[in-house]
Structure 1
Amino acid sequence: MRFTFRQLQVFLATARFENVSRAAESLAMSQSAASGSLKELEQQFEVQLFDRLGKRLQLSELGRQVRPQAERLLAQAQDFEAALSTEEGSGALRVGATLTIGNYLAVPMIAVFRERYTQADVALQVANTKTIARQVADFELDLGMIEGEMNHPQLETIHWREDELQVFAAPGHPLAGVSQVSDDQLMSQRWIMRESGSGTRQAFERAMHGILTDLDISMELQHTEAIKRAVEAGLGVACLSKISLKEAFQRGSLIPLSIPHRDFSRQLNLILQRDKFHTATLERWLSLCRETAQ
C-alpha cells in the first residue's frame, strides 16, 4: 500500500479547514509534519490534491473526486479499530442538530446512548438547518437531525418523526381569550421569529401562505429561549415547535393560540452524506432514532 492512514487523516483535515496549520492542530501534529505528510502523498502518486490560493488550500478537481473514498476508507479503519476494542460500542460520532432538536431531543438521546455504550464518544453541534446540511455534505458531521426540508444532491434524507408548530402569546395578550384567531388578527400582530434558514422559519412560512407578506415580522432571533422571553415580555407573538413550549405552557408563562384553519404540522428528518460509510456507532445511533420515533 503506497499511502498511510495518517496521510488520509491529514488530507481530510486539510480539506475541512483549507489550511495546513489548522489541520495539523486538529490532529495534534506539527505544521511541518502535516505539510510533509500531504506533500509525500501527492508526490507518491504524482498528483495535486489542492489548489494553493495564498494561505488557503482548496480541493482540486481530483481532490474533490477522491475525498468521499478517503472518508469511507478512514471510517472503515476506525470502525475496524473499534471492533477490536474490548468495549462494545466504542467509537466517535459527530451529530449535528437544529436548535429545537438539539436542545429538547438530542441531548436526552445522548444521555441514553452513553448509558448503553459507555465508550462511545458523541459530539453535538447545534446550528440552523442550512449550516447543518452543509456540514454533513462536507463530511464535517456524521449525521444531521433537522427540522427543515432539504433537497441536496449529496444528502440522503430519512423521515424521522412528526412535529407541530404552535403560535403562542403572553397570558395578558389581547388574543389570549380568543377561541379561534382569524387571518386578520394574525396580520395585525407583531411577530417575533426565528431567522431565515432555520427549519422553524421554513415551516412557519409554509403555514402562513397567502398572508405571509402581510405579516409584521418585527424581530428575528436565533435562539428559542430568547423568543420565548421576548413574548413573555409582551413584545409580540411567535411560533415555535410544541416540543420547546411544553414546560412554559404547563407553568402558564405562555399560552397557545388556536388557529385551526392553518396547517402547522411538519416532519423532522435525519440527513446523511450519500457517500458516508456507516460505522457501527452510526448504525446504533440510527437505531436509537427509530426507537425514539415510536
Structure 2
Amino acid sequence: MGLLWTEISILRSRLKSVADVNLSPMFLSESMMNITFKQLKVFATVARNTNLSLAAEKLYLSKPAVSISLKELEKQLNRELFDRLPNSLRLNSNGEKLLPLADELLARAKLLDSLFDNAELTGEIKIGCSKAIGNHVLPELLAGFRQQTGHTNQRIEILNSEDVCRKLANFELDIGLIEADIPREGQVHLPWWQDRMCLIAATNHPLSQQASQSYADLGGQDWILRELGSGSRDVFTQCLAPHLSQWNMTLELNDSEAIINAVSTGLGLACVSELTAKWALDDKRVKELPLDVVIAHPLFITYQEHKYKTPLFEAFFKYCQQYGEAKDG
C-alpha cells in the first residue's frame, strides 16, 4: 500500500502545482480539484487529433460527449484551451501549458491503475451476442480473454441484436456484442469494428456467371432473409432494398447458417455478413456476387449506461476494445 499512497500524494501535489503555469487562480479552487482524469484524457486526445470526431472515435465516445467534457474542463479552469477553427481545434497558449502536465498526470494515473491489474477477477459476466458474432467471433475472443486473465466464468446468450438490447435493458445481461446500432434510452452503443455484407448465390445461379452485378440485375430476384430484429435484416432493408426496383422474400430464417445452406440449393439470393459467409465461400458452397459498392456492416459493443461496472466488466470491455482495434488493423 506504500506505493499506492505515494502515487496518490504525487497526483495531488501535481494538481496543485498546475498553478505554476499561471493559467488562473481558479486552478487552486475547489472546482479545479474536481477535474477528472477522464476530462484530462479527452483534452489530451483532442489536442493530438485536432478534431472532435477523430478524438471521439479513439476514445469510444460520442462527439457530443467529447465536446461537453472539454467545455466542462474549460469552465472549471475558467479559461479556453483551444482556438476553434471551422474544421478543427488548435491548442492556444493555455492548452499548450496544460498538455504536458495532463500527460504526466495521466501517466501516473495509469501506473496507479496498474497496481490493481493483477487483482483477482471474481464473479460472473453475462454476455449477449448476435448470432454471427456468437458463432464466428466469440470463441476466439473468449479464448484470448481467458488466457490473459485466467477468468473462466462467463454466461453466454446468442440472440438477434434486438433481443440482446432488450435483455440489457432488463438487466439480464452485462454487455452485448451486436450487429446493429439500435437506439434505446439508457444504453451506450460504441463502434467495435467493421465487417462487411456479402451478396451470395448458388454456384450455378445465372448471376454467378457474371463478372459483376448492378442493382438492376438484382431487382426482381428471390431473397432469403433473416428475421426482423437481426442486424443483417436491418442492413438489407436500409442499404440494399431501397436500390432494388422490386424484390421478393421467398424465405425467412432466423439462422445465417441455414440461410447459406438454402442459398446453396438455389432457393434465392442472400445478403449475409462476411463473418458468416467466409467458410462457405472458401468451400465454394456458394459464390459471392461482386457489387460496385461496399456495404459496410459495423459491429457494436453495448451496455447499460448507469449499471454498475464491476472490475470483471471493465476487464472484458477493455479486452473487447483491444480485439476490435486489432481486427480493424
For this structure pair, what is the TM-score category when the shorter chain's length is used for normalisation?
A: 0.5 to 0.7
The alpha carbon displacement at 1:218 in A equals 0.6
Aligned counterpart, 2:230: 198
Aligned counterpart, 1:169: 201
Asked if 1:127 corresponds to 2:159, the answer is yes
| Kept after mapping to 1: 8 A contact 2:220/2:245 | no
Which amino acid in structure 1 is aligned with residue 201 of structure 2? A
Q: Distance in 1 between matches of 2:127 and 2:190?
A: 15
Q: Deviations over 1:85-106 (max 9, x none)?
A: x982332100001111111111
What are the equivalent positions in structure 2 for 1:235-254 lying under 5 Å apart? 235-254=267-286
Task: List 4+ stretches of structure 1 deviating above 2 A.
Answer: 86-91, 114-120, 209-213
* Cα pair distance change 1:284/1:235, threshold 3 Å: same
Which amino acid in structure 1 is aligned with residue 239 of structure 2? A
Q: Distance in 2 between matches of 1:213 and 1:279?
A: 50
Aligned counterpart, 1:217: 249
* Cα pair distance change 1:183/1:129, threshold 3 Å: same
The alpha carbon displacement at 1:212 in A equals 5.2
Aligned counterpart, 2:128: 96
More helix by share: 2
The alpha carbon displacement at 1:112 in A equals 1.9
Once the two structures are aligned, what percentage of the paired residues are identical? 29
Q: 2:197 is paired with a residue of what secondary structure? A: strand
The alpha carbon displacement at 1:107 in A equals 2.2
Asked if 1:286 corresponds to 2:317, the answer is yes
| Kept after mapping to 2: 8 A contact 1:204/1:239 | yes
Count of equivalent residues: 209
* Cα pair distance change 1:224/1:210, threshold 3 Å: closer
Asked if 1:234 corresponds to 2:266, the answer is yes
Which amino acid in structure 1 is aligned with residue 320 of structure 2? C
Q: Distance in 2 between matches of 1:291 and 1:154?
A: 24
The alpha carbon displacement at 1:120 in A equals 3.5
* Cα pair distance change 1:132/1:212, threshold 3 Å: farther
What are the equivalent positions in structure 2 for 1:82-161 lying under 5 Å apart? 88-161=120-193
Q: 1:152 is paired with a residue of what secondary structure? A: coil
| Kept after mapping to 2: 8 A contact 1:205/1:212 | no
Q: 1:176 is paired with a residue of what secondary structure? A: helix
Q: Distance in 2 between matches of 1:90 and 1:117?
A: 11
The alpha carbon displacement at 1:278 in A equals 1.2
Q: What CA RMSD, in Å, does the superposition of the two structures yield over aligned residues? A: 1.9
| Kept after mapping to 2: 8 A contact 1:167/1:256 | yes
Aligned counterpart, 2:301: 270
The alpha carbon displacement at 1:149 in A equals 1.4
- Greater RCO (CA < 8 Å, at least 6 residues apart): 1
Relative to the length of structure 1, the TM-score reads 0.67
Q: Distance in 2 between matches of 1:153 and 1:210?
A: 28
Q: Which runs of 5+ in 2 are unaligned?
A: 1-117
The alpha carbon displacement at 1:274 in A equals 1.1
* Cα pair distance change 1:278/1:214, threshold 3 Å: same
Which amino acid in structure 2 is aligned with residue 248 of structure 1? A
Rg bigger for which structure? 2
Q: Distance in 1 between matches of 2:188 and 2:215?
A: 37
Q: Distance in 2 between matches of 1:212 and 1:135?
A: 34
Q: Distance in 1 between matches of 2:151 and 2:240?
A: 46
Q: Distance in 1 between matches of 2:128 and 2:151?
A: 20
| Kept after mapping to 2: 8 A contact 1:87/1:119 | no
| Kept after mapping to 2: 8 A contact 1:159/1:270 | yes
What are the equivalent positions in structure 2 for 1:68-83 lying under 5 Å apart? none
- Compare 132-141 and 114-123 and name the one that shifted more: 114-123
Q: Distance in 2 between matches of 1:212 and 1:174?
A: 18
The alpha carbon displacement at 1:132 in A equals 0.5
| Kept after mapping to 1: 8 A contact 2:216/2:244 | no
What are the equivalent positions in structure 2 for 1:36-75 lying under 5 Å apart? none
The alpha carbon displacement at 1:180 in A equals 1.7
